[in-house]
Amino acid sequence: MKKIIVKLLTFIIILSMLTGCWDERPFKNAKIIVGVSFDQGKNENIESTVLIPTVQGGGIHSETEKLQTVTTEANTPLDVRNHLDIMVSNSIDPSKLQVILLGEELAKKDIYPILDVFYRNAYNNLNAMIAITEGSATEVINTQPANEANQSKYLVGIINAATNTTLYSGENLQMICAELFEPGEDFVLPYLSKSDENNSVRFSGLALFHDKNFTGEVIRHEDAVLLTLMDGHKGKQSRITRQIPKKKDYDVYNYVTIDVLKNKKDIKYQLDQNKITIDLNFSVRILEYPPNQLKEIKNIKELTKTLEEELTKEATSIIKKLQEANSDILSLGRKAQAYHYNEWKQMNWEKDYKNLEIIPNVKVTIKDIGIID
């Protein structure tokens, strides 16, 4: 009898430790959305399009996934969901959301009211990528090249490719949350545009933000790698192609392509003189250089000087554009507050940032010239 009681108690204890399914949410009772776009609608409301995956086909090997698109207008993002719930079978579930697109006109106002609902629900996917679109976000999210079966995966793939090649830092919905509320620190988002060529979407640059608003200014994709490096981020590849002094009439000879292997940044504040110096050090590999004159040290030094001058000039131009947009992407204000508080306290960073003398200096060290003799 005693053994039976012991076994029974052991069974009850083990049973109480087993996990249950009290919070299960069967997908069969919901419509999963994997992509959503928001645009400025009529009468100050919001126009939204969602991507809903559906499986078609009879057998296991003949099933195909297709995306249903549904568009509606409402007053708020959650009100959009209420409208969608009466337009599709079952209720909308954003827990598997992969990408959020914001039209540029809507983003110029304030993006937080659009994102608020995503931060408040614990079931939402905060790893979703977010981007600004040139023109209508609805048009971009509906763009589907012939060789792409899933628009959401296609758009996420474009952003991930930009991250891998240092065109973008890779920040997602969760990562920009802190920057939305952190004074003295702004952020960028991918800027996507629709291309009539092959009915495709392209990464066109980085949308500059100040506070919670898109400034309307964009760093073009040719300069995006340099800005991302200046901000301290680096992807798997950091290729930069720049023109060099003319070597031959055949123009292809007059360019060099480098890959930044390592990047270091040192910021020196002289706020009493309204001056900030940013020293950037790049260790690079030569990937492409048709003149092939790098056997001699003097030619390497000449190319190094050319790269330093060109990249310093471009960094100066980028910083000027950041200041004109009042967009502190490099978090200079936050660092000034942390390490130079007394000087920072005497300033009005919101107004003074535009007028600071910010001087970038780019130093290049060529570590590898390739295997050509």
Phi, psi of 89 (to 5 degrees): -70, 140
pLDDT for position 59: 56
Backbone torsions φ then ψ of 348, nearest 5 degrees: -110, 90
> Residues 6 or more apart from 65 whose CB is under 8 A from it?
53, 54, 55, 56, 149, 150
Task: Say what the pLDDT of residue 147 is.
Answer: 84
Specify whether the CB–CB gap between 72 and 48 falls below 8 A.
Answer: yes
Opening angle at CA 287, ends 286 and 289, nearest 5: 75
Tell me how far CA of residue 207 lies from CA of 9, 181, 182, 215, 321, in angstroms. 63, 18, 18, 8, 12
Contact (Cβ atoms closer than 8 angstroms) between residue 157 and residue 229:
no
Give the residue from 212, 202, 27 showing the smallest Cα distance to 123.
27
C-alpha closest to that of 36 among 121, 88, 93, 91? 93
CA dihedral (236, 115, 204, 48) in degrees, to 10, reads 130
Q: Which domains does the chain have, with CATH numbers?
A: 27-222 (no CATH), 238-373 (3.30.300.210)
φ/ψ (deg, to 5) at 93: -130, 115
The pLDDT value given to residue 17: 66
Instruction: Report pLDDT for 62.
Output: 53
User: For position 316, what pLDDT does the model report?
Assistant: 97
Identify the sign of the CA torsion 179, 181, 185, 191. Answer: positive
pLDDT tens digit at each of 373 positions of the chain: 667 776 777 777 776 666 555 555 555 567 888 999 999 988 889 999 999 988 665 555 556 678 888 999 999 999 998 988 888 887 888 889 999 999 999 999 999 999 999 999 888 899 999 999 999 999 999 998 888 888 999 999 999 999 999 999 999 999 999 889 888 889 999 999 998 878 899 999 999 999 999 999 999 999 999 999 999 999 999 999 998 887 777 888 889 999 999 999 999 999 999 999 999 999 999 999 888 777 888 888 999 999 999 999 999 999 999 999 999 999 999 999 999 999 999 999 999 999 999 999 999 999 988 776 5
Q: What pLDDT sits at residue 219?
A: 97
For the chain, what's the residue count?
373
**Residue 11 neighbours by CB distance under 10 Å:** 10
Predicted local confidence at residue 21, as pLDDT:
55
pTM of the model: 0.88
8 A C-beta contact, residue 209 and residue 327: yes
The half-sphere exposure of 354 on its side-chain side, counting CA atoms within 13 A, is: 6
Nearest to 114 by CA among 67, 323, 105, 146: 105
Per-residue pLDDT at 313: 96
